[in-house]
Amino acid sequence: MKKLFHYTIFFINSFALFGILFSLISPFINPNVFWPISFFGLFFPVFVIILFIFSIFWFFYNRKYMWINLIFLLISTPYLSRFISINSSDDSNGEEINIMSYNVRLFDKDNLLKIENVYEETMKFANKEEVDIFCIQEYDNPKKDINSNFKYSTIDLEGSKENPHMVIYSNYEIINDTINNGMEDMHNTCIFSDIATKTGTIRVYNVHLASNFFSNDDLRFMSSPELETDKALGVTKRLRKSFELRGKEVQIIKRHIDNSPYPTIICGDFNDTPVSYAYQNLREKKLDGFIESGNGFGATFTKIPFLRIDYILYDKQFSSSDFITHQEILSDHKAVSCKIKLD
């Protein structure tokens, strides 16, 4: 019996080692070329936890296997910083903009949160945080007065003035935006604004990549998995579809960003983890506000623990401070914000 137990532990440990190896590779493989590898990136934190726990076990029973685990965990350290960040406070001088990204989930249109006037509460929240630029995904304004707190806005109308899906609000002048410059049918996926600041013009992208299309049953299943083949297959099919869609979207957006005449900031809901093809490509030549100036765990999706899918990325000529994952519950996402110094 003891031998069987050790063999079982060895098998699970070996699977986790292969899993973490494929996780490290997955951000560099386009899901449209080989989609199954994207699953390994999705479960990267799980593999890390398994290897850490089993390392303690092997410390008492076979230290050779412990060292193998620790080597793989050490190799994975750069990816771990994408989930957990530790930074000291930074008092900086010069022009800073306070930028926030928030998927507001249609301002709780279906009233799941049982909060009155979610739109007003969200705008009060942004005002209280003294936000200069506010990127909103899944926007649905219940009123016709689109803008109450900000001087300028870029709005993705998506065929209806009363139901725009993406907005960039700004207290700085917007001199050019997506409305006049299409992005290859990327409505409801990506918009941008060229914004005039005291130190020059910057381009801010608001991104909302393809959703995973999960139902409430799917989310319950993933939170506490049971051996239900039909549900597992349904989740797998939806994940495959979304992996491939995001792979295509990212290529188009990345091409547009690479041709920007101005320094860029990318905000948004990527619907993917920091160990993914989508994140890896959009982060290329950029810094991640959470890694550079955040603290603690970066989880932003309230329904699945440790899931970080909302980001603020910026060109390396900028720097950031005071990255915050806000704890206000006005959506199924948490708002993220940071101050970006325009060097």
pLDDT digits (tens, 9 = 90+) for 64-86: 889 999 999 999 999 999 999 98
User: What is the H or E stretch that residue 18 is in?
Assistant: helix 2-25
For residues 269 and 19, give the distance between their C-alpha atoms in angstroms, rounded to a whole number: 26
Instruction: Compute the half-sphere exposure of residue 94: CA atoms within 13 Å on the CB side of its CA.
Output: 14
Cα angle 26, 215, 113; round to 5: 110
Residue from 330, 278, 228 nearest 35 by CA = 278
Predicted confidence at residue 184, as pLDDT, reads 61
Please compute the mean of the pLDDT values over residues 257-265 and round it to a whole number.
Answer: 95
**Residue 170 · residue 131 · CB < 8 Å:** no
Please compute the mean of the pLDDT values over residues 292-314 and round it to a whole number.
Answer: 93
Please compute the mean of the pLDDT values over residues 155-182 and round it to a whole number.
Answer: 76
Query: Using 50, 70 and 90 to split pLDDT, how confident is the model at 51?
Result: very high
For the whole model, what pTM was predicted? 0.89
Could you report the per-residue pLDDT of 37-46, keeping only the tens digit for each? 999 999 999 9
Residue from 41, 88, 127 nearest 295 by CA = 88
All CATH 3.60.10.10 domain ranges of the chain, comma separated, are 96-341
Least confident of 51-55, 119-123, 222-226: 222-226
Query: Which one has a higher pLDDT value, 222 or 308?
Result: 308
Options 3.40.630.10, 3.90.1170.50, 3.20.20.70, 3.60.10.10; CATH for 96-341 is 3.60.10.10
Predicted confidence at residue 202, as pLDDT, reads 97
Predicted confidence at residue 212, as pLDDT, reads 77
pLDDT at 159 over 50: no
pLDDT at 108 over 90: no
Predicted confidence at residue 217, as pLDDT, reads 53
**Residue 108 · residue 331 · CB < 8 Å:** yes
Q: What is the DSSP letter of 310?
A: E
Query: Using 50, 70 and 90 to split pLDDT, how confident is the model at 23?
Result: very high
For residues 68 and 70, give the distance between their C-alpha atoms in angstroms, rounded to a whole number: 5
Q: For residue 280, count other CB atoms closer than 10 A to its CB.
A: 17
Question: Would you call 202 exposed, middle or buried from its count of C-beta atoms within 10 A (0-12, 13-18, 19+)?
Answer: buried
Please compute the mean of the pLDDT values over residues 325-335 and round it to a whole number.
Answer: 94
Token pair listed for 47: 């593999």
- For the chain, give the number of residues: 343
Least confident of 143-147, 177-181, 206-210: 143-147
pLDDT at 146 over 70: no
pLDDT > 90: percent of the chain: 63
Token pair listed for 223: 């939170």
Predicted confidence at residue 221, as pLDDT, reads 46
pLDDT > 70: percent of the chain: 85
- What is the DSSP pairing of strand 84-85 with strand 296-297? antiparallel
